[in-house]
C-alpha cells in the first residue's frame, strides 16, 4: 500500500515558507513563521507557543496520524529514528547546534541527539549558503564576548561559509554549530528529535533556560566539537547517488535517489517517498493514483505487493527508508 501524506506546516522562530505556500498552491504566498513542512514526524514540535500540538504527520486521505498507521502495521515506533521535512528559509537562521546523545541526556533528559542531512531543492540568490562549524583559527575569548554582546555578525564571520546550489547534499553531525542561510528550499532528513541549542538569547524559550545564562557556559557547548573541514560534509550536484549519500552520512540514514523516465518499483521495505521532480501515476495492486512534483507518500508494501511509479515526465524520487 501507499498513502499520501498531508501538508504539515510547523511554527518556528524564523521567517520563511513563501515557497512552501507556492508548492501547495496557496493564494498570496508569503513568508511567515511557518517555514517548515514536516513530512514524516511521529513527534510534536518543541514549541512553547502552540502547547505542543503541531508537528505530528497526518495522512492526506483519512483522519489518521502516521504514528497510528505504523502501529497498525506492527512497527516498533519507539525505534523509528528518522524525521523528514521541507524547509524554506526566508532569512539566515540563528547559529545553532543540535545536541549529541550525551548533551541530549544531560540538558533535555532525552535519549537521542540529532544528525541531519540536507538535499538542496532550490536556491533563490546567487550567494545562497550554509554556515558549517567555526573556522580553525576562531578565538574562544572573542566568541565569548560576541555571545555576551549578541554580536551575530561576528559569529557568522568566524564560521565556515559554504555556497550551495540546487542538487547539493550536506551532512551536519550533531554537536556542530551551523546556520542555514536565507533563500534556500531543501529537504531535511534528521533523527527523530526537535532539540536545539541557540547562541542568540531569547529568555522566553527553553533553549535559554537549559543552556545556562552565561556566555562561558554557551561557549563550552558550542566548542565541544573539534574544528571540521566543511568539504567533508558536502557533496556537489552531479555527483550524488545512493552510494554517495550513504558514505556522506556514514550510514546514519538510508536514502535512495533515483531519476527515471521508465516505470520504477519502490524499495521492498517501508519508506517515505518524495517526488522531487516529475508527474505520473503510482500503480499498486491494479489501482492507480496520480503523483506530482513535491508530493509525499509513505510506502508500506505488503508481502508480494509492488508499488510502481509510472512517469509521464522525467521523474526524480527520493526514498527515505524507515
Q: DSSP of 27-81, one letter per residue?
A: SS---BB--EEEEE-SS----TTTTT-S---BBSSSS-BHHHHHHHTT--GGG--
The pLDDT value recorded for residue 195 is 86
Question: What pTM did the predictor assign?
Answer: 0.93
The pLDDT value recorded for residue 37 is 98
Phi/psi at 106 (nearest 5 deg)?
Answer: -70, -45
The pLDDT value recorded for residue 3 is 97
Lowest-confidence segment of 60-69, 120-129, 200-209, 300-309 by average pLDDT: 200-209
Domains and CATH numbers, the chain: 2-248 (2.60.120.10), 255-321 (2.60.120.10)
Mean of the per-residue pLDDT values for the chain? 91
The pLDDT value recorded for residue 202 is 59
Amino acid at each position: 500500500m501507499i498513502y499520501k501524506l498531508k501538508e504539515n506546516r510547523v511554527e518556528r522562530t524564523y521567517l520563511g515558507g513563501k515557497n512552501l505556500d507556492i508548492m501547495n498552491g496557496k493564494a498570496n504566498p508569503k513568508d511567515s513563521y511557518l517555514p517548515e513542512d514536516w513530512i514524516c514526524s511521529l513527534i510534536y514540535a518543541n514549541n512553547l507557543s502552540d502547547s505542543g500540538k503541531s508537528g505530528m504527520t497526518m495522512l492526506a486521505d483519512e483522519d489518521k496520524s502516521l504514528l497510528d498507521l505504523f502501529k497498525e502495521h506492527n512497527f516498533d515506533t519507539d525505534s523509528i529514528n528518522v524525521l523528514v521535512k521541507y524547509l524554506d528559509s526566508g532569512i539566515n537562521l540563528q547559529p545553532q547546534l543540535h545536541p549529541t546523545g550525551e548533551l541530549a541526556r544531560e540538558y533535555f533528559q532525552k535519549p537521542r541527539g540529532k544528525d541531519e542531512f540536507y538535499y538542496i531543492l532550490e536556491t533563490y540568490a546567487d550567494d545562497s549558503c550554509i554556515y558549517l562549524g567555526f573556522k580553525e583559527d576562531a578565538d574562544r575569548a572573542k566568541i565569548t564576548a560576541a555571545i555576551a554582546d549578541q554580536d551575530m555578525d561576528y559569529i557568522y564571520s568566524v564560521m565556515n561559509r559554504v555556497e550551495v546550489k540546487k542538487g547539493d547534499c550536506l551532512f551536519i553531525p550533531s554537536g556542530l554549530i551551523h546556520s542555514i542561510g536565507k533563500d534556500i528550499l531543501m529537504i531535511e532528513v534528521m533523527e527523530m528529535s526537535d532539540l536545539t541549542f541557540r547562541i542568540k538569547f531569547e529568555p522566553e524559550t527553553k533553549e535559554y533556560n537549559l543552556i545556562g545564562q552565561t556566555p562561558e557556559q554557551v561557549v563550552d557547548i558550542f566548542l565541544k566539537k573539534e574544528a571540521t573541514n566543511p568539504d567533508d560534509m558536502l557533496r556537489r550536484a552531479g555527483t550524488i547517488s545512493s552510494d554517495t549519500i550513504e558514505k556522506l552520512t556514514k550510514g546514519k540514514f538510508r536514502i535512495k535517489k533515483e531519476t527515471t523516465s521508465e516505470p520504477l518499483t519502490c524499495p521492498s521495505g517501508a519508506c517515505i517517498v518524495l517526488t522531487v521532480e516529475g508527474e505520473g501515476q503510482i500503480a499498486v495492486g491494479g489501482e492507480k493514483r496520480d503523483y506530482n512534483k513535491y508530493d509525499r507518500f509513505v510506502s508500506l508494501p505488503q508481502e508480494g505487493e509492488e508499488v510502481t511509479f509510472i512517469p509521464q515526465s522525467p521523474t526524480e524520487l527520493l526514498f527515505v527508508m524507515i
